[in-house]
Amino acid sequence: MSLRDIERVSLTRLNEYYGDALRLVKLIFEQAFVAELSGRNRRVQSLLIDMESTFERVVYRAVKTVVDTEYYDVRNDSIGYLTRSESEEGLLSMYPDFWIRNRTEDVVLVGDAKWKTGTDPSRNDFYQIAAYQAKHGTPGVLVYPDVDGAMRDTYTYATGSGTDAGRGKLRSIEIETGDGASYDQFVQTVEAAIRNNLPESLVKAEALL
C-alpha cells in the first residue's frame, strides 16, 4: 500500500466513519511527526486529542473567569428547548458552550466554541448559534482558534423584512492557541482574548485595568 492508494479512497455516507482512521494512516505515510502538535498545525492534535471538547472547556473557564460574577452568571447547561409539541412536551434541548444571564435571569449573551482545522466558518456553526440567539433574542459569539484573523468578523441576520429576527449581532472571534512559555501564560492569553471581545459591561472592572 502507498500514499497514493490512501488518497484514492473515496468516502461516502456509508463509510465516512473511517475518515479519522484514513487521515491518521495518511499522516503515517507522510511521516508526520508528533512535533506537529506544536504551533498551529492541528491535523495531529485533533486525531490524538479530543480538541473540540478541550477547546470548549478552555473557553468556558476563561469566560467564567473574566465575567463580573457579582452581576452575571456564566453557565454551560441547557438554555431550553428548541421546540415544544402541542402537548407542551419540550423537544431538542439546546446547549451552548457558554451563556450569560443577569441577576434577573435574563439571558444577555450566548456563545459557542468551535475547534477548526480550516479557515471558514461552517453553515452548521451559523445555524446552531442562530438557534441559541433566537431562543432569548440575544447577541452571540462564535469562538475559534487563531487563524490570523480569517474568521474574525461581525454579522447581522438578514430577513425578508430587513430585521434581525429579534437577535442581536453575532461576532466571530479568534483565540491564540500557539506555543506559550508556560501553561499560566497560555491561560492568560486565552482570558485576555475573551476579555477584549466581550462587551465591557459584562467584564470585571479589575480585568479592564
- Per-position b or e across 52-68, b if 16+ CB within 10 A of its CB: eeebbebbbbbbbbbbb
Q: Is the overall model pTM greater than 0.75, yes or no?
A: no
Q: Which pLDDT score, from 0 to 100, does residue 4 have?
A: 72
Q: Which pLDDT score, from 0 to 100, does residue 50 have?
A: 66
The candidate with the shortest Cα–Cα distance to 71, out of 165, 202, 206, is: 202
Q: Which pLDDT score, from 0 to 100, does residue 148 have?
A: 81
Q: Which pLDDT score, from 0 to 100, does residue 35 have?
A: 46
Regions in the chain scoring below 70 on pLDDT: 1-3, 6, 17, 20, 24-25, 27-50, 117, 160-166, 178-182, 206-209
Q: What CA–CA distance (Å, rounded) separates 107 from 133?
A: 9
Decide if 71 contacts 208 (C-beta within 8 A). no
Q: Which pLDDT score, from 0 to 100, does residue 27 have?
A: 63
Q: Which pLDDT score, from 0 to 100, does residue 206 have?
A: 63
Q: Which pLDDT score, from 0 to 100, does residue 180 have?
A: 57
CATH number of 50-208: 3.90.1570
Q: Which pLDDT score, from 0 to 100, does residue 49 have?
A: 58
- Angle, helix 183-197 to helix 51-66, in steps of 10 degrees: 70
The H or E element spanning position 153 is strand 153-155
Q: Which pLDDT score, from 0 to 100, does residue 39 have?
A: 47
Domain positions in the chain are 3-44, 50-208
